[in-house]
Amino acid sequence: MSSTLRRRKPDPNPTPNPNPEEDGLDVEDIKKPKKPTIKKNYSCIDNCCWFIGCVCSIWWLLLFLYNAMPASFPQFVTEAISGPYPDPPGVKCLKEGLKVKHPVVFVPGIVTGGLELWEGHQCMDGLFRKRLWGGTFGEVYKRPSCWVQHMSLDNKTGMDPPGIRVRPVTGLVAADYFAPGYFVWAVLIANLARVGYEEKNMYMAAYDWRLGFQNTEVRDQTLSRIKSNIELMVATNGGNKAVIIPHSMGVPYFLHFMKWVEAPAPMGGGGGPDWCAKHIKAVMNIGGPFLGVPKAVAGLFSAEAKDIATARAVAPGVLDSDLFQIQTLQNLMRMSRTWDSTMSMIPKGGDTIWGGLDWSPEEGYAPSKRKQGKNDTCTQNESGGGVCEATQASYGRMVSFGRDVAEAPSSEIERIEFRGAVKGNSVANNTCRDVWTEYHDMGFGGIKAVAEYKVYTAGEVVELLEFVAPKMMERGSAHFSYGIAEDLDDPKYEHFKYWSNPLETKLPNAPDMEIYSLYGVGIPTERAYIYKLRPAAECYIPFQIDTSAKDKNEDGCLKDGVYTVDGDETVPALSAGYMCAKGWRGKTRFNPSGIKTYVREYDHNPPSNFLEGRGTQSGAHVDIMGNYQLIEDVIRVAAGAKGEELGGDQVHTGIFEWSEKIKLKL
Amino acid sequence: MGSVLRFRKLYFLEPNLRSNGSSETIKDNKPSLEGLKVDYKHVKSQRMEEHKNMKKKWRCLDSCCWFIGCVCTTWWLLLFMYHCLPANLAGLNGPEPPGVRLKNEGLAPLHPVVMVPGIVTGGLELWEGRPCSEGLFRKRLWGGSFTEIFKRPLCWMEHLSLDSETGLDPPGIRVRPVPGLVAADYFGPGYFVWAVLIENLAKIGYEGKNMFMAAYDWRLSFQNTEVRDQAFSRLKINIELMYITNGNKKVVVVPHSMGAIYFLHFMKWVEAPPPMGGGGGPEWCAKHIKAIMNIGATFLGVPKAVSGLLSAEGKDVAFIRAMAPGLLDSEILGLKTMERMMHVSRTWDSVISLLPKGGDAIWGDLDSSPEEVHECDLETKCYIQTSSKENSTKHEDTTPHFQLKHQTNYGRMISFGKTTSEQHSSELPVIAPKELMDVTKDLNSSEKCGDIWTEYGKISRKNIQRLADNKAYTAATLIDLLRFVAPKTMQRAEAHFSHGIATDLDDPKYSHYRYWSNPLETKLPNAPDMEIYSLYGVGIPTERSYVYKLSTSEKCNSIPFRIDSSAEGNGGQWGLRGGVYFVDGDDSVPVLSTGFMCAKGWKGKTRFNPSGSATYIREYQHKPPASLLEGRGLESGAHVDIMGNVALIEDILRVAAGASAEDIGGDQISSDILKMSEKVNIKL
């Protein structure tokens, strides 16, 4: 230490030290002048050290102050700025005297559940029972290719690749936070806890969201696990039936569960025909993609959906660049194409629901206009007139090649049949083969054929996907179906592949059960895409969203090659609301026992200031889990309220009008 | 960055320019009023002075900063190099874990595994608390890093205490066990409990669907875990679920420490009819359980629990003391840590379940104890006379001199003073335990002593002296002693636990749940194919009985008893050391407690084991870790560290993969448990 001090002393008398070998062993030496050469050598490092030291000390000081700060301080500041905070819904309900009544089951959606490693290859050493998905995603950056390898499933079976076992995290921790600070269920859990809920009457039905729904039972017995846990909770909570809260893909998953549990073993759970009636009070679907998500199409087609995997949002720059020579997008596509579950989100119901070449249920309606005027349609709105001309023609055309095609009247479009087109032999390029996207099998001929068909409606999109990714769709079609049932009593509908499609199954026989559809509205949501061909290059995905296609008008429905409608940013309101607004309303063939359904929409209000975080009135797909109004509704139902006591339907969009336009036999 | 560096350069030049500043300062001290100029000068000089002062301060600060910077940089550099290090650097690698070896042998998962953690090892988290615990919702109060103890100790203690009347949650506080495998895989960061076993099970193919951690709130009495959290129902459902989903394969249960008696309780509960029991029917255990592999089971209790209750001094009835011994014994913070700790732990009913069971018949009376023979063997100077004396009548008078030297009275679990512990029983003052109960308590003693609820405040000094005069307590009279010094605790807890021996097991009173966790007062379930193992470490001196003294402290509410740590025996690993008599065991549980039931009490068809379930004993000789890299040892026999013992893990893996007891070698005994058991005379 003494020598270091000496080194830093300013040197008033720069005479060289006569005794160079006498090197700082004496205390007196401190006073002595030093050789300037030494000082020079060290001064830069010295400065650096000094600087780092300063930064560290300040950092620690701030950290210390932060830790010493009372926990209520941020709230105090917020209240000082924006007036008193509203009570969190849990506290509010507690004050009203609401108490624990019905046990609650959470069913998380796609990507929000954590996955952890149980067995892996050499490159994953030391990560046993550590999260690969969820949490900090530290491994994505540390060993990306290893991570992709472990997150992928076998592309033949859709199950574990040999030697790799990645399993869902269990318990409430599975999906309370997706990443540090990014809540999913945590706010809802915390508010339920305020009225007295705890681990024994809350259950997180965590499942491996990469698998086909039936495969979660085959591999992990997840459905059996959910069944016995619901039975346990109902039994130990004095016979009070459970309230189920599925979110996002959890909604079709739970539909699947309800069919599974009543179906006889071995395909089903053998719970008997009145299992749901006995054990379920209400199903409160949050942002449910009942009829699929257009985003899933883009995701499967060109790996470009804005967030089918949140991974892209987490690190957009990394994914689009070729920085590490690992073809991020292709790798990602290969990975997500091994996940059967993404295929559960392909739009269901075909043209009947989503609209054909010339019509769509939502046309004549622009989401961004609603709040400014009271006008429900754009035609009444002067500034938006041109926008909706385009939207009218295009929503039904889920994928179109070129903007002109998207807007042209259907009679003018020349379509060349792509089905049966010969997939030309491309130059065998083995460097691309290992990236399994199936595009290299198509060759230029196939790609051209796809582009020349010009326009694809919802029904044709499925065929398109079958054409570009035959292996994947073949695997997926064993687990999912996208049609509309002609005759629901047909014995073929006993197969599990139909169970997650609300248009091909009947609801269970449970007249006392209630089904809610809770979702956010007021955010532009992807609905149809304009594609272009990518300049030919062997190793690239040949199709790309044409981001140059946009409306002149700022408020237009077409932006960056994507037509948007009202929704919660991921799921269009049509998909989330239609079943509860019409398909299941009253006694229909899809709902033979007349289960009561409710639609509750929550208008999106962006957070008013930074301190509110992700907002208490958000309507976005995941952020809605922190919406106070929604949480309050959930707590009330969990505490015993019925749909009417909540106020029945609460609608902001034209969901009922849209539903009227859909000609579906009920 | 650039500007900062520039600033520093400027400042290094300054000393030369500023040398004339001091003369001006002197001038300025004159209280003259020369208008603005003076003011200006004054200000200027002041600034200079400040500068000078600052310069000096800055020097020091600078060096500090520089030093910190250096340290940080070096640290980061090392950290970076550490991270660059390949995970499996040659040389740092231990031997192949048993899981990998057995997988290569072809072992695959067959039976689902249920783990039942013991006391203190399970995590507890906060679900509802007082304002002082804000921000800790669903954070661990127990387990994990324990940072909250240091941040807000009083708040922490308040939340971990239970209600002293009911033994359940105090109003407004809900602390709940952490569920899932994370509940007890690691106790603190890096301090494994179940993690090694879980990892090895996973190596041969186990995963979440065929492993279950039966986490429960270990502070509650066993039946209350069902009443409050439905922990038993949960365990039952999960075992049934795993049984069905794994192709009707029975489960292997692995309880550890207190988990062993918790699981005994469960087995009685599950077959008992509702509402007290789970209504699984009399065949439930036979149908669902293949084997119970008790690790370091506290079947007959732990002497350590006695000292813990009496004076909060057990070496690790709560691990806290081990983690921060200095803190607890000092009174730095004016906290009376010990007393508070005692207060907290006395609200935990489960501690009572660890008191020695079976009384004098098991643990020995004033003059004899099962372990004495054993001790002679160890010290290899066993006098034939001693054993002959043991065999003959107890009234035989032997010379005190002889006894002083060679006999250790383990049976006297608490003795006041070293001489008492060594005297012959006839010389001890005889006070019947009943008499103790009659002593009138003075209740007006200490109102002013605040809220620390140790119950000692209610006992007068005189009565404490009388307690000490009784000199020696055996396992049976000990319970009376505790009933006297902690009446409320015992009253509350004894509704849940019993510590005797049943004379007639068919007595209908034994269908009450308070007897279910005592192996001497229950029958095993009717499951002839079930196997019961007792796996435990041996070769570590384990607390068996204590020499106490009266504490001199007169402060109110202080604990009046202390272990007399000055009492030393005549050397050797066993025997008296620091006021504690040691016997063979695993550091917490003496061999007698964990081994007796499997060695004798349940061996063959006895009245405690009517269906003749097979029992096996497997002892693991303790070997301390050979090198630092081994961490807590691969062959450890210590109570918790044994969970990382390679041989034990291998046994469990083999049984889980379908092996029977004969396949893994049947009994494996290195202690004198069989001889000890012979000496215990109870009706079987």
Residue B551 burial by CB count (10 A; 0-12/13-18/19+): exposed, middle or buried? middle
Q: Is A621 annotated in the active site?
A: yes
pLDDT of res. B398 = 38
Under the banding of pLDDT at 50, 70 and 90, the label for residue B309 is: confident
pLDDT of res. B318 = 41
Q: Please work out, in degrees rounded to the nearest 5, the angle formed at the alpha carbon of residue A186 by the alpha carbons of A202 and A251.
A: 65
Residue B323 has pLDDT above 60, yes or no: no
Pick the most confident of A316-330, A651-665, B439-453: A651-665
Chain A contact probe: residue of B128, B207, B211, B212 with most A CBs at under 10 A = B207
Task: Identify the weakest region by mean pLDDT among A50-54, B340-344, B420-424, B442-446.
Answer: B442-446
Pick the most confident of A34-38, B312-316, B399-403, B540-544: B540-544
Among candidate residues A102, A152, A176, A248, the one labeled active-site is: A248
- The answer to whether B194 and B240 are in contact (CB under 8 A) is no
Nearest to B276 by CA among B339, B319, B227, B243: B227
Among candidate residues A340, A546, A566, A568, the one labeled active-site is: A568
Under the banding of pLDDT at 50, 70 and 90, the label for residue B290 is: very high
Q: Is A504 left (phi over 0), alpha (psi -120 to 50) or beta?
A: alpha
* Token pair for B314: 């057990």
Chain B contact probe: residue of A13, A52, A66, A233 with most B CBs at under 10 A = A52
Write the residue in A46, A119, A196 that is nearest to B66 by C-beta: A46
Contact at CB, A54 and B229, closer than 8 angstroms: no
**A74 vs B413: which has the higher pLDDT:** B413
pLDDT of res. A296 = 84
Residue A376 has pLDDT above 80, yes or no: no
Which value, to the nearest 10 degrees, does the dihedral of the CA atoms of residues B598, B600, B601, B602 take?
50
Q: Which long-range contacts (CB under 8 A, 24 or more apart) does B393-399 make?
A: B394/B365, B394/B367, B394/B368, B394/B425, B397/B424, B397/B426, B398/B424
- The answer to whether B203 and A120 are in contact (CB under 8 A) is no
Residue B275: asked if its preceding bond is cis (omega within 30°), the reply is yes
Contacts of B207 in chain A (CB under 8 A): 118, 165, 167
How far is C-alpha A348 from the chain's CA centre? Answer: 18
Residue A517 bridge partners (DSSP): A285, A599
Over residues A456-475, the mean pLDDT reads 86
CA-to-CA dists, residue A118 to A6, A121, A132, A223, angstroms: 56, 10, 10, 20
Measure the CA–CA gap between B555 and A398, rounded to whole angstroms. 83
Over residues A418-423, the mean pLDDT reads 67
Over residues A462-480, the mean pLDDT reads 86
CA-to-CA dists, residue B272 to B220, B263, B281, B284, B513, angstroms: 20, 14, 7, 10, 9
Over residues A62-70, the mean pLDDT reads 79
The domain locations on chain A are 2-68, 95-113+173-291+508-519+574-659, 115-168, 349-480+523-567
* Max Cα distance, chain B (Å): 112
Q: Which of 124-183 (A) contact B at CB < 8 A? A: 125-126, 128-129, 165, 167-168, 170-173, 176
Domains of chain B and CATH, by start: 98-123+178-300+528-535+590-679 (3.40.50.1820), 303-354+356-496+540-585 (no CATH)
- Report the residue of chain A nearest B86, measured CA to CA: A125
Contact at CB, B229 and A118, closer than 8 angstroms: no
Nearest to B620 by CA among B600, B594, B654: B594
Contact at CB, A167 and B128, closer than 8 angstroms: no
Q: Which of 62-91 (A) contact B at CB < 8 A? A: 71-72
Please tell me the number of Cα atoms within 13 Å of B436 on its side-chain side.
25
Residues 6 or more apart whose Cβ sits within 8 Å of residue A591: A506, A507, A583, A584, A585, A597
Q: Which of 197-226 (A) contact B at CB < 8 A? A: 198-200, 220-221, 224-225
Task: Identify the weakest region by mean pLDDT among A651-660, B235-244, B624-633, B675-684.
Answer: B624-633
CA-to-CA dists, residue B170 to A9, A173, B151, B160, B208, angstroms: 63, 26, 22, 10, 34
Which CATH code fits A95-113+173-291+508-519+574-659?
3.40.50.1820
Q: Is B639 annotated in the active site?
A: yes
Write the residue in B65, B203, B244 that is nearest to A50 by C-beta: B65
pLDDT of res. B53 = 55
The secondary structure element, H or E, covering residue B160 is: helix B153-160
Residue B41 has pLDDT above 70, yes or no: no
Is the sign of the CA dihedral B450, B456, B460, B465 positive or negative?
Answer: negative
Chain B touched by A30 (CB under 8 Å): no
Contact at CB, B127 and A199, closer than 8 angstroms: yes
- The answer to whether B109 and B203 are in contact (CB under 8 A) is no
pLDDT of res. B292 = 95
Measure the CA–CA gap between B483 and B505, rounded to whole angstroms. 25
Cβ neighbours of B77 (radius 10 Å)? 10
Residue A638 has pLDDT above 90, yes or no: yes
pLDDT of res. A242 = 95
Nearest to B284 by CA among B228, B240, B224: B240
The secondary structure element, H or E, covering residue B536 is: strand B531-538
Q: Please work out, in degrees rounded to the nearest 5, the angle formed at the alpha carbon of residue B492 by the alpha carbons of B490 and B494.
A: 60
Residue A15 has pLDDT above 80, yes or no: no
Task: Identify the weakest region by mean pLDDT among A376-385, B25-34, B483-492.
Answer: A376-385
Q: Is A150 annotated in the active site?
A: no
Residue A188 has pLDDT above 90, yes or no: yes
Pair type for strands A558-559 and A543-545 = unpaired
Please tell me the number of Cα atoms within 13 Å of B339 on its side-chain side.
21
Residue B380 has pLDDT above 50, yes or no: no
Task: Identify the weakest region by mean pLDDT among A550-559, B240-249, B584-593.
Answer: A550-559
ipTM of the shown complex? 0.81
CA Rg value for chain A: 29
**A122 vs B84: which has the higher pLDDT:** A122
Q: How many residues does chain A have?
A: 666
pLDDT of res. A250 = 92
The secondary structure element, H or E, covering residue A150 is: helix A144-151
Residues 6 or more apart whose Cβ sits within 8 Å of residue B531: B290, B291, B292, B613, B614, B615, B616, B655, B660, B661
Helix (H, G, I), strand (E, B) or coil at B211: strand
Residue A70: asked if its preceding bond is cis (omega within 30°), the reply is no
Contact at CB, A228 and B229, closer than 8 angstroms: no
pLDDT of res. A82 = 66
- The answer to whether A527 and A563 are in contact (CB under 8 A) is yes
Chain B touched by A49 (CB under 8 Å): yes
Nearest to B412 by CA among B482, B478, B474, B481: B474
Task: Identify the weakest region by mean pLDDT among A112-121, A176-185, A574-583, B561-570.
Answer: B561-570
Mean pLDDT of chain B: 77
Residue B172 has pLDDT above 60, yes or no: yes
The secondary structure element, H or E, covering residue A300 is: helix A294-302
How many angstroms separate the CA of residue A65 from the nearest CA in chain B?
Answer: 14
Write the residue in A57, A171, A199 that is nearest to B68 by C-beta: A57
Measure the CA–CA gap between A666 and A584, rounded to whole angstroms. 8
Under the banding of pLDDT at 50, 70 and 90, the label for residue B627 is: confident
Residue A386 has pLDDT above 80, yes or no: no
- The answer to whether A546 and A530 are in contact (CB under 8 A) is yes
Residue B442 has pLDDT above 70, yes or no: no
- The answer to whether B63 and A8 are in contact (CB under 8 A) is yes
Mean pLDDT of chain A: 78
Residue B649 has pLDDT above 70, yes or no: yes
Contacts of A54 in chain B (CB under 8 A): 4, 65, 69
Under the banding of pLDDT at 50, 70 and 90, the label for residue B441 is: very low
Residues 6 or more apart whose Cβ sits within 8 Å of residue B606: B684
Q: What is the pLDDT of residues A116-148, one digit of tens each?
A: 999 888 888 778 888 888 877 777 777 778 888
Residue A546 has pLDDT above 80, yes or no: no
Contact at CB, B137 and A228, closer than 8 angstroms: no
pLDDT of res. B256 = 93
Q: Count A/B contacts: CB-CB distance under 8 Å.
A: 133
- The answer to whether B330 and B445 are in contact (CB under 8 A) is no
Q: Which of 363-392 (B) contact A at CB < 8 A? A: none
- The answer to whether A224 and B245 are in contact (CB under 8 A) is yes
Contact at CB, B138 and A190, closer than 8 angstroms: yes
pLDDT of res. A111 = 82
* Token pair for B566: 């000055």
pLDDT of res. B293 = 94
Pick the most confident of A415-424, B56-65, B96-105: B96-105
Measure the CA–CA gap between B528 and B285, rounded to whole angstroms. 10
Measure the CA–CA gap between A538 and A443, rounded to whole angstroms. 9
Under the banding of pLDDT at 50, 70 and 90, the label for residue B28 is: very low
How far is C-alpha B446 from the chain's CA centre? Answer: 32
Under the banding of pLDDT at 50, 70 and 90, the label for residue A185 is: very high
Chain B contact probe: residue of A129, A130, A169, A219 with most B CBs at under 10 A = A129
Nearest to A511 by CA among A341, A280, A204, A308: A280
